[in-house]
Structure 1
Amino acid sequence: MTATPPSPDEIVAALETPVDFDFQLPDPEDEEIQEAEFQQQLDAIWKLCDRFDLQTDIWRGRILRAVRDREKKGGDGRGTGFLNWLKAREITKSQAYALIQLANSADTLLAEGTLDPKSINNFSKRAFLETAKSAPEVQRLIGEAAQKGDRITRREVKQLSDEWTAMSSELLPEEVKEKAAQGSLPPRHLAPLVKEMEKLPDIHLKPIQKEIAESPDLDTVKHMTSSARSLAKYLDAAAQVQTLKNSPIDLEMALEEALRLDCLNTTADLVKQATQLEQTVAKLYTTWKRLGSLSDRLYVDTGASNPNLRSLLTTLEVLTSEVIEVSLDEAGDRAVRLRIMTQGNS
């Protein structure tokens, strides 16, 4: 069943903005104002501006969505009218779609009943964006906090998200969850561990789960988070290195040895760099072929009557020939030479 969207009156009430923006800022040179009071006055005004910023962008997103949808229905099929509308108001296409996404998120959260229309004013703009990207369960927790009148910033969103991640994950042993529930293991440290563990296959999860179950303390959690991160990096990179795929190396045994010698992080970085080097070489070859093709085309299109263009081509031969030479510094004291040898060449 499709949820009923909020009525215009509900939206107007929820997004009602202050009319008078002639704020009276406290005088920074007034020594009679205590520091705490000075900060409190500025914070109150800042929150109003923050709220206005969120409300304005939601409405801009709704306006842009209306223009886009109108264009889809009666435009030329290429979105020219929508693009012209953006151009006239100096709005980029990416900015427009970001605002439309914000408006969609606001309408969805309101229509699904996750947020009370009146509680939107309790959000900062960045917190609202983070809420829209959160899991439905987290959205409900945030909505309940906002409805109680709590001020919702990104810190609150992250805290609630971390708590939900830690307490709902099936990857964490019960011993760890109990410590989290008691408050001795902060969820903000458990959430990164869960995110790294989610990247690992089952075979690599058990040793981590066993260790944190035996020692459910902060130091163990931090150590296991680092290990899980390095492990995920190793597995991901090793699967991408073509050189390793063509060899009889037992990657699992190599991993076990790295773990035994406590050099997993170095091994993971090694494999990651190997991946990047292979990708760089592939890109180098593609660029080299393209450069050579363009040079051949320009050579055909020019003649002796174009000595400067011919000079340009001659100079660039150090990059288009089989041996590439590139200076590593401006003085030219250091250079690197690479020979391109494709399969089948001698």
Structure 2
Amino acid sequence: MLQSSDSTDDLAAVLAESIDLNFELPDPEDEEISEHDFQQQLDNAWLVCDRFDLQTEIWRGRILRAVRDREKKQGDARGSGFLNWLKAREISKSQAYSLIELANSADTLVEQGHLDPNAVRCFSKRAFIETAKAEPEIQQLVTDAAKRGDRITRREVRQLSDEWMAMSSELLPEPVKVKASENALPPRYLAPLVKEMEKLPESHQKELQREIAANPDVDTIKEVTTEAKYLSKYINAATTVQALNNDDVDLERAIQEAIRVGCINVAADLVNQASQLEQTIAKLYGTWKRIGSLADRLYVDTGASTPHLRSLLSCLEPLGGEVMEVSLGGDNERTIRLQITEE
């Protein structure tokens, strides 16, 4: 934080001078430079910009936080002073709070001892934001790498997150964890599996655990991940489909049969489409009622002096009646008629 007016004056004087970011970028038409060297030079320049951008936005967040907190203490209850400050600098409220959140994350990581202030320069902007949102254990792994001087991009954060999840998740059976510790099962395959299994009821989790414990290999992990994804999709959609609120339907046994014959993906898609169709019908009904109400109001408010409005009403009449009619364009043009009957 800036401690005095003298320090802010000094900082302002420094910033008044132009900051030289004129990199000597390689000539893209230079055939003598190798592709590796060309990409390396660009990558280094990009990294400098990324670090500069991150540290700038952290300080912007701290500045905005100071303005907001001052307004809370001395301003009006509506926070109009803070909003006017943002408006004068063309900053949206959502952008401001996003920057404040970034600054809070940076300060929290430093205060908890997870991160040395100088290690911030090792992060790309997106990697830092992702680290700030991660679990404390993952934050520790990432910041330890930053303290060693390792370059931290979002890829490294995700890799460390996957490794931690693969070794710590209780959803993975012991044979799978053993193979993961031996690097026989890459964590990048296990993390998606864990995320999908977390969405499932315990009964389905146990069935999938038995399957991967019996065959702890990459192909099985991929297959089970896909199966878990469709299972979750099926279960979530089935609970919202009114047509399935029937005592004659056993959704659990239907799932088991779909898995047994290898068509869980088709069953999941069918149920999901049914859910979307019911929602579309409900939305269609609401829109249809609204069109009828607006047409009635417009008819009452118009007369012989508004022939064009009457013509508009006449053209839209098919959409507000009991039978709606719509023509679908294309080579095979066809007309669709929908009848709505209220009970």
Same fold (TM over 0.5): yes
Q: Aligned-pair RMSD on alpha carbons? A: 2.4
Deviations 1:150-209 (A, max 9, x none): 000011000000011111100100000000000010000000001111111111112211
Deviations 1:226-249 (A, max 9, x none): 111111111111111111014521
Offset, 1:8: 6.5
Distance in structure 1 (CA, Å) of the matches to 2:79 and 2:109: 28
Deviation at 1:88, TM superposition (A): 2.5
Pair 1:309-2:317 in alignment: no
- 2:196 corresponds in structure 1 to 196
Q: 1:178 to 1:49 in 2, by over 3 A?
A: same
Q: Any unmatched runs of 5+ in structure 2?
A: 9-13
My pick for the range that moved more, 17-26 or 331-340, is 17-26
Q: Kindly tell me: are residues 78 and 313 of structure 1, through their superposed partners in 2, closer, same or farther at Cα, counting changes over 3 Å?
A: farther
Over 3 Å counting, the alpha-carbon distance change for 1:277 and 1:51 in structure 2 is same
CA distance in 2, matches of 1:130, 1:43: 21
Aligned to 2:50: 50
Q: Are residues 77 and 34 of structure 1, via their aligned partners in 2, closer, same or farther at CA, if it must alter by over 3 Å? A: same
Distance in structure 2 (CA, Å) of the matches to 1:251 and 1:143: 46
Match for 1:221: what amino acid? I
Q: Which structure 2 residues correspond to residues 209-224 of structure 1 after superposition, within 5 A?
A: 209-224=209-224
SS of 1:254's equivalent? Answer: helix
Distance 1:305 1:89 in 2: 51
What's the counterpart of residue 105 of structure 2?
A: 105
| CA distance in 2: counterparts of 1:75 and 1:281, whole angstroms | 49
Alpha-carbon offset, residue 319 of structure 1: 1.1
Match of 2:276 in 1: 276
Matched, 1:155 2:155: yes
Q: Counterparts of 2:263 and 2:331 in 1: how far apart (Å)?
A: 39
C-alpha separation between the residues in 2 aligned to 1:74 and 1:201?
51
SS at match of 1:326: strand
Determine whether 1:340 maps to 2:340: yes
Q: Structure 1 runs of 4+ off > 6 angstroms? A: 6-9
* Residue 318 (structure 1) aligned with residue 318 (structure 2): yes
Q: Which amino acid aligns with 1:223?
A: E
Equivalence map 1:139-178=2 (5 Å): 139-178=139-178
Tell me: higher relative CO, structure 1 or 2? Use CA pairs within 8 A at least 6 residues apart.
Answer: 1
Letter in structure 2 aligned against 1:25: L
| Residue aligned with 1:305, SS | coil
The 3 A distance-change label for structure 1 pair 205 and 21 is: same
Change in Cα spacing, 1:8 to 1:132, as seen in structure 2 (3 Å) is farther
- Report the residue type matching 1:210 in the other structure: R
Aligned partner of 1:3 in structure 2 is none
Give, in whole Å, the separation in 1 of the partners of 2:342 and 2:232: 33
The structure-2 alpha-carbon separation of the partners of 1:220 and 1:337, relative to structure 1 and needing over 3 Å to count, comes to: same
Q: Which residue of 1 aligns with 2:289?
A: 289
1:133 equivalent in alignment to 2:136:
no
Per the normalisation by structure 2, the TM-score is 0.90
Normalising by structure 1, we get a TM-score of 0.89
Aligned residues: 333
- Identity over aligned pairs, percent: 66
